[in-house]
Chain A
Amino acid sequence: MSTSVAGRRRRQTLDAVHRLVASAVTLLFLLPLLWAASASLRATGTPSPRALEWIPSPIAWENYRTVFRLIDLHRFVLNSLFVAALAVPLTIVVASWAGFAISQLSHRWRLRLIAFSVLCLMVPLTAIWLPRFILFKEVGLINQRIALVVPAVMGTSPLYVLLFTWTFLRVPREVYEAARLDGAGPYRTWAQIALPLGRPMIVAVAVLTFVHYWNSFVEPLLLIRTTDKMTVSLGLRVLYSLDRASWPLLMTGAVLVMAPVIIVFILAQRAFMQDVHGRSVLGE
């Protein structure tokens, strides 16, 4: 009798310790973002504090207006949205086409194409910087916003094609078979059977693609020359080059640029985490 009470108490203690450690670790991961948010609210021009400060006083909300005055953030956001607005739908269509076709091919061809995709996934991006830059220069795509959309033509990343392949492979073959007997060709089966069944994966790939193009730094760095065509990440670099010591404004810029990604990620978090790896990974 007493041992079971002791056992229960022990388990409760362990549980509390676990909860504490889990919370601490989680907080550690959020710490850089919290620090950035806190620093973004300090009044500019006041001497930086010599001791750790969580909530600045006074809170300088006007930093968020000042940044828009200092750099043309509106334009940078519009440019990034322009790229994402074209790249995301294009990626979904191309990647889901390819994924669907691969899932319907014979076993042998499927394996070959999957292996080829994995191989391409392994090619380091650094290895492609130079030749791709030269290619884009030859076809006159330097300093064109549309150049940033070009990777969407191949579905942005072989990973997205593989994700769609796995999604469509999980649908029982009879479902496709029935559509075929009804006289539906590949395009109709893709549009009317595969896509509706793969909706969670569409959301997941859309989020991944949006984050990819919004965050992209190296491609615009290599391809974009003039300020009016820059995307948000390059805009942040402009802000940084204006004043390297104005920490509150730099952090404000960082918070503004990462806010959309964080919001999209949190909104789509379930679809994102559940389906990227085939089943519920985050949160049962």
Chain B
Amino acid sequence: MRDRVQFGLMLAPYLVGLAALVVLPALAGFGLAFTDYNALQPPQFAGLTNFRDLLDDEIFRTAVANSLFYIGLAVPLRLAGALLTARLLLRPRRGIHLYRASVYLPTVIPDMAWALIWLWILNPVYGPLNQSLALLGIDGPSWLVDHTSARLAIILMMSWQIGEGFVVCLASLQNVPRDLLDQAAVDGSSAGRVFWTVTLPSIAPGLLLLLFRDTIFSFQANFVPALIVGRGGGPDYATTFLPMYIYTTAFGYLRFGYAAAMTCAMYAVTGVVLWLQYRVAIHWRLGFGNVD
């Protein structure tokens, strides 16, 4: 009995903190979406006005489209990168932990430093990226000036920070049952076939979780790149992803209620994307096929 009280006390800071800093704010965000609030005067109930305004807001529509474009390219690229790199660095050999640590290293770099570094790398004239391309005889794009290449540039810089996915893939690959792989090798399957028919199905559940996690993460992770590398979401709103627009609306224009409605919309968009991914996974029996 006394023990249970003490366990409760040990849990208290965590649960109370979580309630105050995560659960209640998340719920309050929903409430805020139905108000006009500028953080100076008390909030005014506004009904569905904010949501109606969203429908007519062209920048918001652009932001949703930008975010979906970003998710559609960045998430598959990050997942494929993590999986292929993990496969490449799977076998133990001399110095392998150095190789693996190097792959993880970009992930621990502070967002702000990473953004500045890429601002330099992407400089069209002096940046090392276009200068390297020039060595190959390629005339590099003027990255952050042009609409499409600015977005691609941000997707590119985020494809380096895949340490978490890399570690998860590495762990899943190490868990693939040895005897299944040996059996396939005895049957004379080529390495590529073994990967598709044995390895991939058995790591599919882990990959699926990673896909969900990376989708949620990617929706919000492009804020600092958009702020610094996109110089506040430009050029011409090309890198105005949802978090960037939410930030500008709230802390630039002090329209907190409207920004909260946008956050709700972002939840909804994220939910729809996750649901679609789940449907596709079910359809291809990915991650669930080998459970039953």
Residues of A within 8 A of B (CB): 18-19, 21-23, 25-27, 29-30, 32-33, 35-36, 39, 48-52, 94-95, 97-98, 100-102, 104-105, 113, 117, 120, 122-135, 137, 150-151, 153-155, 158, 161, 185-187, 190, 211, 214-215, 217-218, 222, 232-234, 236-237, 240, 247, 250-251, 253-255, 257-258, 261-262, 265-266, 269-270, 273, 276-279, 281-284
Inter-subunit contact A137/B39 (CB<8 Å) = yes
What are the 5 A-B residue pairs with the smallest beta carbon separation, nearest first? A154-B17, A283-B97, A131-B25, A98-B14, A215-B110
**Across the interface, which residues of A come within 8 angstroms of B32, CB to CB?**
130-131, 134
Q: Complex formed: what's the CA distance from A95 to B116 in Å?
A: 33
**Across the interface, which residues of B come within 8 angstroms of A23, CB to CB?**
99
Given contacts A124-B270, A134-B39, contact A161 B14 (CB under 8 A): yes
Inter-subunit contact A35/B7 (CB<8 Å) = no
Inter-subunit contact B88/A21 (CB<8 Å) = yes
Inter-subunit contact A36/B117 (CB<8 Å) = yes
B11 in the interface, Cβ–Cβ < 8 Å?
yes
Identify the closest chain A residue to B133 (Cβ): A52
Inter-subunit contact B88/A25 (CB<8 Å) = yes
B103 in the interface, Cβ–Cβ < 8 Å?
yes
Closest CB in chain A relative to B74 CB, distance in Å: 16
B284 in the interface, Cβ–Cβ < 8 Å?
no
Inter-subunit contact A129/B250 (CB<8 Å) = yes
Given contacts A39-B120, A134-B39, contact A236 B263 (CB under 8 A): no
**Across the interface, which residues of A come within 8 angstroms of B93, CB to CB?**
19
**Across the interface, which residues of A come within 8 angstroms of B13, CB to CB?**
94, 97-98, 153-155
Identify the closest chain A residue to B263 (Cβ): A127
Inter-subunit contact B224/A217 (CB<8 Å) = yes
B55 in the interface, Cβ–Cβ < 8 Å?
no
Contact with A along B64-108 (1 / 0, CB 8 A): 000000000000000000000100110011001111111111101
**Across the interface, which residues of B come within 8 angstroms of A113, CB to CB?**
11
A to B CB contacts below 8 Å, 29 in the list: A26-B102, A29-B103, A29-B160, A32-B121, A51-B131, A94-B13, A101-B11, A126-B223, A130-B32, A131-B260, A134-B28, A151-B17, A154-B22, A186-B6, A187-B10, A236-B112, A237-B228, A254-B116, A258-B109, A262-B108, A262-B109, A265-B101, A273-B100, A276-B167, A279-B171, A282-B104, A283-B92, A283-B96, A283-B100
**Across the interface, which residues of B come within 8 angstroms of A135, CB to CB?**
20, 25, 28
B205 in the interface, Cβ–Cβ < 8 Å?
no
Secondary structure type dominating chain A contacts: helix
Inter-subunit contact B110/A217 (CB<8 Å) = yes
Inter-subunit contact B29/A217 (CB<8 Å) = no
Partner of A101, one of B10, B110, B132, B243: B10
Partner of B126, one of A190, A247, A262: A247
Inter-subunit contact A277/B168 (CB<8 Å) = yes
Partner of A155, one of B14, B25, B106: B14
Q: Complex formed: what's the CA distance from A112 to B120 in Å?
A: 48
Inter-subunit contact B102/A29 (CB<8 Å) = yes
Identify the closest chain B residue to A15 (Cβ): B93
**Across the interface, which residues of A come within 8 angstroms of B85, CB to CB?**
25
Partner of A94, one of B14, B22, B28, B125: B14
**Across the interface, which residues of A come within 8 angstroms of B20, CB to CB?**
135, 154
Q: Complex formed: what's the CA distance from A33 to B15 in Å?
A: 39
B207 in the interface, Cβ–Cβ < 8 Å?
no
Inter-subunit contact B128/A132 (CB<8 Å) = no
Q: Complex formed: what's the CA distance from A261 to B157 in Å?
A: 19
Q: Complex formed: what's the CA distance from A263 to B134 in Å?
A: 34
**Across the interface, which residues of A come within 8 angstroms of B16, CB to CB?**
154
Given contacts A126-B243, A130-B259, A131-B32, contact A237 B112 (CB under 8 A): yes
Partner of A232, one of B89, B109, B110, B114: B110
B247 in the interface, Cβ–Cβ < 8 Å?
yes
Identify the closest chain B residue to A150 (Cβ): B21
Identify the closest chain B residue to A102 (Cβ): B11
Q: Complex formed: what's the CA distance from A215 to B109 in Å?
A: 7
Identify the closest chain B residue to A99 (Cβ): B14
Q: Complex formed: what's the CA distance from A43 to B117 in Å?
A: 17
Given contacts A35-B121, A52-B131, A134-B256, contact A126 B108 (CB under 8 A): no
Contact with A along B146-157 (1 / 0, CB 8 A): 000000000001
Inter-subunit contact B116/A126 (CB<8 Å) = no
Q: Complex formed: what's the CA distance from A131 to B110 in Å?
A: 25
Inter-subunit contact B29/A282 (CB<8 Å) = no
Partner of A217, one of B89, B111, B170: B111
Inter-subunit contact B242/A126 (CB<8 Å) = yes
Identify the closest chain B residue to A215 (Cβ): B110
B246 in the interface, Cβ–Cβ < 8 Å?
yes
B292 in the interface, Cβ–Cβ < 8 Å?
no
Given contacts A26-B102, A122-B216, A127-B267, contact A277 B167 (CB under 8 A): yes
**Across the interface, which residues of A come within 8 angstroms of B132, CB to CB?**
52
Q: Complex formed: what's the CA distance from A68 to B277 in Å?
A: 49
